[in-house]
Chain A
Amino acid sequence: MKNTPVLTVLALCCALIAPSSKAEPAIPKIGFLGASTAEQANHLLKAFKQGLHERGYEEGKNILIETRFADGKLDRLPALAAELKALNVSVIAAPPHAAAAAAKKVTPDTPIVFALVGDPVSAGFVQSLAHPGGNMTGLSTINVELGAKRLELLKEAFPKTTRAAVLYNPGDATNDLQLVKIEQAAKTLGIQLLPLAVTKTEEFEPAFARIVKEHADALLVIENPVNFTQRDTLVAFATKSRLPAMYALKEFVDAGGVMSYSVSFAEQVRSSATFVDKILKGAKPGDLPVEQPTRIELILNLKAAEAQGLKISPSLLLRADQVIR
């Protein structure tokens, strides 16, 4: 029985290895809920994955990502959020306000990380920025606050502006709040405001018609999934109409718009991966304070402006963080 010790050791090793291989934690599964189309939100998903990568995650290796997109049809969001919940994901990353709201309705306990919410406190997502308390946390775009600033910058760029049209979605809580701020600013700036409610794609044509009819001399586009999805349509209309426009997102400028003043959505979504990481490591979303953006960028597309024959006042150029020539 010379081999007995060897066999014993082997058996012990097997006994030690077997449970540990069994006990290897299952790869965490997270959900990503977008409001626009997969194609339009592709750069955001990429940024999100980049953020995860920076935190040491490799999709398929140590994290699984379930993605759902509403293709701009916000009424589909609750069903998609329910799908993710049914998949028993550990975290739902729902960057846009509408997606986060839908996820919140579906699940009171699955952690939800948002990234593009204008005012999470007003929206009822969190109790306070420092202590969210519930199952939601993430990053604020402070877009509600920035609405007034955008109108001011639009006026500074085009001092002759007197009548500005605002495209917003009254179903979106952030939009309503922002509109109030914008209206206050308009009074200060001596601008007459033309708020135009657009809740779905079909409503763009009538809105455009009204802008033309009412002789609006500037356009302010608030960010919401409907506008975001139809950004090409919007930019095309402004260009065609030679309408000075201020957009709430860089993506519109990328599509040919004249200027935007906002946080970087991609940057926000990338940062939200940090929250996902912390939650996967055991943090409670309610304990993670909501982050405010530190960089708000003014992007001017002089090329587009020139093409439209628009002249932007030089003082705004001083403020511009990025100028496309």
Chain B
Amino acid sequence: MPTKARSQLFRKYVVYFAMLVTTTLLASGLSGMYLSYKENVAALVELQHEKAIGTAYKIEQYMKEIEHEIGWTTMPQAFPEITVLDQRRVDYLKLLRQVPAITEIGYLDASGKEKLRVSRLAMDILGSDKDFSNDPEFTEAKTGKTWFGPVYFRKETEPYMILAMGASRDDTGVTVADVNLKFIWDVITQIKIGKAGYAYVVDAHGRLISHPDISRVLQQSDFSQFSQVRAALTNARSSSATVQRAMIADNADNEPVLVATAPITALGWAVLVEQPRTEAFAPLYASMLQTGLLLLAGLVLSLLASLALARRMVTPIQALRAGAAQIGAGILDHRIDVRTGDELETLAEQFNHMAKDLQESYSSLEHKVEERTQQLEIASRHKSAFLANMSHELRTPLNAIIGYSEILAEDAAAQSNIEAVSDLQKIRRAGRHLLALIDDVLDLSKIEAGKMQLAGTDFELRTLVDDTLLVVQPLLVRGNNRLETRLAIDGVVMHSDAVRVRQVLFNLLSNACKFTHRGVITVAALRDTTTQPERVVFSVRDTGEGITTENLEQLFQPFVQAKTIGRMHDGTGLGLALCRRFCELMGGEITVVSEYGKGSEFTFWLPVNARHLEGTSAS
């Protein structure tokens, strides 16, 4: 199946090329995608982390700013004590105006007693002398550090923190400020993290201090159970550099978010920056999608290229194959047209060259065959002519020999020279045999030389058969054979060559007599009207020796006599060959069926009317 072979080769090439190209492309594309994914994730995480750090820094700065502002009021005053308190109140009033986050601010003297309290909400208190000497805001601040108190919630909602600062000298007191942490909201809402991202702040216990959704803060939300918050606080506590930069976790609304954290070390707080994972990774997914689409486009292109390349490679091979098939089928003037400029074109040229050579040698061979055939024909004609002439030339002296031997035999008989009669009859018999042989040779050569003409006449077939049987009678008697006839040919008038019909029938009968002893010879003839043209079928069956299978094959060849029988029988060996030639000449056919040892049956049929064959000659 050439198409199948072609498609197989084509498919093979396509698969090879496509596999090669797609493997390379996929390997490079996927590894590129993987690397860019890693890089992008790292960049996103880094960005998120930077934002967290930035937010933490801003909040720290915000708190530092408050601390700094309060710091101004703790400077030592160069006034007497009573005036100092007045002056301090003025400072505090200024501070309240300056720093909205401070709701209340008070002053504890060196012994820890409250001397002054200025508030935005409550009435100012002067000299309450409330003792804070054992409270941390006093004890811690006395050491000279700024004390950031724990986060507490005023009226159970508002996150507050106490910030206490001592002064530079031991004999001065401590300033204690209540800072409203809701103001950090102003800081964190300015942090923009994508569209849906947000930052929030938790204290050291994981309680929410600031969140863009202020309600969550006012609810005193405890975020300590969130894994990201725990991680953030762990990071805040440990100062090691190997902090987890970002993680994926579920936020308070159970949505997956990319979280980055940063500690506010001074306060022990942590900032968490969260962005919905889908949004955070959206650019990443977009770039992955883009890369993926490009890769896909590349794959499609490479597949198309593979198809084109495979087609390019298969088409000339297909042309070669088709061309070779044409040349193989004998169309030698076919030329293969392949112009690829490579080995395939060379191959095609070689094919063409071979075809050309073949064509040339074929034509010279044909020429020689023709020439030789002509020579043979001429030779054959010469041979036949020679034979015809030769037969004639032989017959004349032979007839003389026969004639004179008969005369001599009659004379010898008259003289009762029995011995001589016998010898002379031998001479005459040999002569007649020779004559018959020559006649046969002559007939055969005539037929082969194409000079045998049918002499068509109308004749009564029954008469012809009866005459022939009469002639054969002595031969039957000689072999002690019995003749049976089955003739259904009464009134059949044939138009054919009567002599030849008789000759064939006689030949078959005489052969039957020759090879049968004390047997039965059956002659049958019938007219078959079922065929077109109408024919007469003869058969001669004997119960004689029969013919071996190997002899049957060459039975109708000239000069062949059954070898097994050897030369113990008379005959020229031309009889059956002539029978066949005659039958064919008259438009009929002869066949034989025989079983060695049981007998033979020769059958021949002839057209009743062979008029159309007259004037033709067989070759």
Residues of A within 8 A of B (CB): 128-131, 142, 145-146, 148-149, 152, 185, 188, 278, 283, 287-292, 294-296, 315, 318-321
Q: Which one, B94-102, B236-244, B606-614, is touching chain A?
A: B94-102
Inter-chain contact B100/A148, CB cutoff 8 Å: no
Total contacts A to B, CB within 8 angstroms? 64
Residue of A nearest to B155 (CB): A129
Query: 8 tightest CB-CB pairs across the interface, nearest first?
Result: A289-B218, A318-B93, A129-B157, A130-B156, A130-B157, A152-B123, A288-B215, A319-B93
Check A130/B121 contact, CB under 8 A, given A291-B214, A294-B182: no
B414 within 8 A of A: no
B183 within 8 A of A: yes
Contacts of B155 in A (CB 8 A): 129, 292
Q: How far is the CB of A111 from chain B (nearest CB, A)?
A: 14
Can you report 18 A-B residue pairs in the complex whose CB atoms are below 8 A from each other?
A129-B218, A146-B121, A149-B119, A188-B123, A278-B215, A287-B219, A289-B157, A289-B218, A290-B218, A292-B155, A296-B120, A296-B121, A315-B89, A318-B90, A319-B93, A319-B96, A319-B97, A321-B97
Q: How far is the CA of A318 from the CA of B94 in the complex (A)?
A: 6
Inter-chain contact B93/A315, CB cutoff 8 Å: yes
Q: How far is the CA of A185 from the CA of B100 in the complex (A)?
A: 24
Q: How far is the CA of A188 from the CA of B124 in the complex (A)?
A: 11
Inter-chain contact B96/A149, CB cutoff 8 Å: no
Q: How far is the CA of A253 from the CA of B96 in the complex (A)?
A: 22
Q: How far is the CB of B73 from chain A (nearest CB, A)?
A: 13
Inter-chain contact A295/B100, CB cutoff 8 Å: yes
Contacts of A292 in B (CB 8 A): 154-155, 157-158
Contacts of B122 in A (CB 8 A): 145, 148-149
Residue of B nearest to A185 (CB): B123
B111 within 8 A of A: no
B220 within 8 A of A: yes
Contacts of A152 in B (CB 8 A): 123-124
Partner of A294, one of B89, B183, B215: B183
Q: How far is the CA of A221 from the CA of B123 in the complex (A)?
A: 18
Inter-chain contact B90/A148, CB cutoff 8 Å: no
Contacts of B94 in A (CB 8 A): 318
Q: How far is the CA of A296 from the CA of B96 in the complex (A)?
A: 11
Contacts of B90 in A (CB 8 A): 315, 318
Contacts of B180 in A (CB 8 A): 294
Contacts of B153 in A (CB 8 A): 130
Contacts of A145 in B (CB 8 A): 121-122
Inter-chain contact B157/A148, CB cutoff 8 Å: no
Residue of A nearest to B185 (CB): A294
Contacts of B156 in A (CB 8 A): 128-130
Inter-chain contact B219/A131, CB cutoff 8 Å: yes
Residue of A nearest to B89 (CB): A315
Q: How far is the CA of A185 from the CA of B121 in the complex (A)?
A: 13
Residue of A nearest to B118 (CB): A319
Contacts of A188 in B (CB 8 A): 123
Residue of B nearest to A145 (CB): B121
Residues from 86 to 135 in B contacting A, C-beta threshold 8 Å:
89-90, 93-94, 96-97, 100, 119-124
Contacts of B215 in A (CB 8 A): 278, 283, 287-289
Binary A-proximity of B3-34 (CB < 8 A = 1, otherwise 0): 00000000000000000000000000000000
Residue of A nearest to B91 (CB): A318
Q: How far is the CA of A152 from the CA of B155 in the complex (A)?
A: 23
Inter-chain contact A148/B93, CB cutoff 8 Å: no
Contacts of B89 in A (CB 8 A): 315
Between B97, B155, B182, the greatest number of chain A beta carbons within 10 A of the residue's beta carbon is seen for B155
Q: How far is the CA of A47 from the CA of B475 in the complex (A)?
A: 154
Between B90, B157, B183, the greatest number of chain A beta carbons within 10 A of the residue's beta carbon is seen for B157
Q: How far is the CA of A318 from the CA of B90 in the complex (A)?
A: 7
Contacts of A130 in B (CB 8 A): 153, 156-157, 218-220
Check A148/B123 contact, CB under 8 A, given A129-B155, A130-B157, A289-B157: yes
Residues from 120 to 167 in B contacting A, C-beta threshold 8 Å:
120-124, 153-158
Inter-chain contact B121/A142, CB cutoff 8 Å: yes
Q: How far is the CA of A145 from the CA of B120 in the complex (A)?
A: 10
Q: How far is the CA of A315 from the CA of B119 in the complex (A)?
A: 14
Q: How far is the CB of B280 from chain A (nearest CB, A)?
A: 22
Residue of B nearest to A288 (CB): B215
Binary A-proximity of B539-562 (CB < 8 A = 1, otherwise 0): 000000000000000000000000
Q: How far is the CB of B615 from chain A (nearest CB, A)?
A: 75
Contacts of A321 in B (CB 8 A): 97
Residue of B nearest to A146 (CB): B121
Contacts of B121 in A (CB 8 A): 142, 145-146, 149, 296
Q: How far is the CA of A53 from the CA of B153 in the complex (A)?
A: 31
Partner of B100, one of A142, A283, A294: A294
Contacts of A149 in B (CB 8 A): 119-123
Contacts of A315 in B (CB 8 A): 89-90, 93
Q: How far is the CA of A290 from the CA of B158 in the complex (A)?
A: 10
Q: How far is the CB of B118 from chain A (nearest CB, A)?
A: 9
Residue of B nearest to A184 (CB): B123
Q: How far is the CB of B29 from chain A (nearest CB, A)?
A: 33
Contacts of A131 in B (CB 8 A): 219
Q: How far is the CB of A102 from chain B (nearest CB, A)?
A: 25
Residues from 200 to 256 in B contacting A, C-beta threshold 8 Å:
214-215, 218-220
Contacts of B124 in A (CB 8 A): 152
Q: How far is the CA of A129 from the CA of B158 in the complex (A)?
A: 9
Q: How far is the CA of A149 from the CA of B122 in the complex (A)?
A: 6
Inter-chain contact B182/A289, CB cutoff 8 Å: no
Q: How far is the CA of A321 from the CA of B89 in the complex (A)?
A: 17
Residues from 169 to 196 in B contacting A, C-beta threshold 8 Å:
180, 182-183
Residue of A nearest to B90 (CB): A318
Binary A-proximity of B54-73 (CB < 8 A = 1, otherwise 0): 00000000000000000000
Contacts of B157 in A (CB 8 A): 129-130, 289-292
Q: How far is the CA of A130 from the CA of B122 in the complex (A)?
A: 21
Q: How far is the CA of A131 from the CA of B94 in the complex (A)?
A: 35
Q: How far is the CB of B411 from chain A (nearest CB, A)?
A: 118
Q: How far is the CB of A250 from chain B (nearest CB, A)?
A: 16
Q: How far is the CA of A137 from the CA of B369 in the complex (A)?
A: 123
Binary A-proximity of B507-522 (CB < 8 A = 1, otherwise 0): 0000000000000000
Q: How far is the CA of A185 from the CA of B94 in the complex (A)?
A: 24
Inter-chain contact B97/A318, CB cutoff 8 Å: yes
Residue of B nearest to A155 (CB): B123
